[in-house]
């Protein structure tokens, strides 16, 4: 029963991981840029949710929507004024840019908030639900179902709307998309904005469960990279499945040997690169050409 409880906790945790990873894989799949500042976007989102609760009394499950909207605008601004001018540059230039953004955001947070840890207390924070002898925390349950709903909405947007189909087309073939009249720059901006909004929503869901501090995003973004590779770069469904797998793995290893919980998923990361670099639902051949599935 204790093992089943641990697996359940891992599944719930994996839902949050997958939401963060989906934002990363959307940006990576469409814009072909590895956003090393993704963790700092999460950190900013958690600080915003914290401030809204502390000074506005807004429940984090409501403020997560507001944070997502703000992060959409923030992501659009970053893409339009910083990323877009170097879009045609080499991968190294893009990596250095996002690393620079990451360092700047982390140090700005350090200057404003110092290195202190901040957390919140909500009425339902310690509430639990019993199911067949298992105990489920309400914050984890709400976060998990919110992640599922948002994942379905993202899939529906990419599958059935004109803009979503244009983003997928751009991810699959840049040249053909231009020939078909798709506004590449506009789709880049929208995709980056949506990816930032996803991580913003995740920040609001995480603040009832985790403390926020300037470097909180570092561990989450490392996890996200592992999840993206595991699920298959560019695959939205793969990011969701990868998040669940990593969540279960981390919980099970932590049950028997807590010191190795982080080592375990990095070992898995190396094994994936050696055995199946394209991931579970990756593109197979030509995996360096990342597209959204």
CATH of the domain at 270: 1.10.3470
Three-state SS for 129?
strand
Structural domain count, the chain? 1
Confidence bin at 283 (pLDDT 50/70/90):
low
Best CA proximity match to 247, nearest among 89, 18, 78: 18
In a domain, 123, yes or no: no
In a domain, 129, yes or no: no
What pLDDT score was predicted for residue 266?
81
Confidence bin at 166 (pLDDT 50/70/90):
very high
Residues 194-216 have pLDDT tens digits of: 999 999 999 999 998 899 999 99
Residue 195 in contact with residue 244, Cβ under 8 Å?
Answer: no
In which residue are the tokens 């914050």 written? 139
- Asked if the model's pLDDT at residue 99 lies above 70, the reply is yes
Confidence bin at 285 (pLDDT 50/70/90):
very low
What pLDDT score was predicted for residue 191?
94
Mean pLDDT of 160-177: 89
Residue count of the chain, please give it.
293
In a domain, 287, yes or no: no
In a domain, 154, yes or no: yes
- Write out the residue range of the structural domain in which residue 159 sits: 2-118+143-275
Confidence bin at 257 (pLDDT 50/70/90):
confident
Residues 106-125 have pLDDT tens digits of: 999 999 999 999 999 887 77
In a domain, 125, yes or no: no
Q: Dig out the tokens for 8 from the structure.
A: 């359940």
Out of 130-144, 177-191, 238-252, least confident range: 130-144
What pLDDT score was predicted for residue 282?
64
Residues 13-54 have pLDDT tens digits of: 888 888 889 889 888 888 888 899 999 999 999 999 999 999
What pLDDT score was predicted for residue 288?
43
Q: Dig out the tokens for 112 from the structure.
A: 């404003």
In a domain, 135, yes or no: no
- Asked if the model's pLDDT at residue 105 lies above 70, the reply is yes
The better pLDDT of the pair 50, 282 is held by 50
In a domain, 131, yes or no: no
Confidence bin at 287 (pLDDT 50/70/90):
very low
pTM for the whole structure: 0.90
What pLDDT score was predicted for residue 290?
45
In a domain, 281, yes or no: no
Half-sphere CA count of 257, side-chain side, radius 13 A:
7
What pLDDT score was predicted for residue 291?
45
């Amino acid at each position: 029963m204790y093992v089943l409880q641990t697996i359940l906790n891992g599944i719930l945790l994996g839902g949050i991981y997958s939401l963060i990873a989906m934002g990363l894989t959307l940006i990576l799949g469409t814009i072909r840029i590895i956003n090393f500042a993704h963790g700092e976007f999460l950190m900013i989102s958690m600080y915003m949710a914290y401030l809204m609760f502390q000074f506005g009394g807004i429940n984090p499950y409501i403020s997560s929507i507001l944070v997502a909207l703000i992060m959409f605008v923030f992501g659009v601004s970053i893409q339009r004024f910083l990323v877009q001018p170097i879009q045609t540059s080499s991968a190294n230039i893009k990596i250095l840019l996002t690393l620079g953004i990451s360092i700047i955001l982390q140090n700005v947070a350090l200057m404003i908030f110092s290195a202190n840890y901040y957390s919140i207390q909500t009425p339902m924070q310690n509430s639990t639900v019993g199911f067949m002898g298992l105990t489920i925390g309400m914050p984890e349950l709400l976060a998990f179902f919110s992640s599922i709903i948002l994942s379905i909405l993202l899939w529906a947007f990419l599958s059935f709307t004109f803009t979503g189909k244009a983003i997928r087309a751009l991810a699959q073939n840049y040249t053909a998309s231009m020939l078909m009249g798709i506004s590449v720059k506009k789709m880049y901006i929208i995709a980056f904005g949506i990816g930032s909004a996803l991580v913003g929503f995740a920040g609001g869901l995480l603040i009832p469960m985790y403390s926020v501090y300037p470097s909180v995003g570092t561990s989450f973004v490392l996890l996200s990279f592992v999840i993206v590779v595991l699920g298959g770069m560019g695959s939205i469904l793969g990011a969701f499945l990868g998040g669940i797998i990593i969540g279960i793995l981390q919980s099970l290893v932590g049950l028997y040997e807590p010191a190795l919980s982080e080592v375990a998923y990095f070992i898995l990361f190396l094994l994936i690169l050696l055995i199946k670099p394209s991931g579970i639902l990756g593109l197979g051949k030509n995996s360096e050409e990342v597209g959204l599935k």
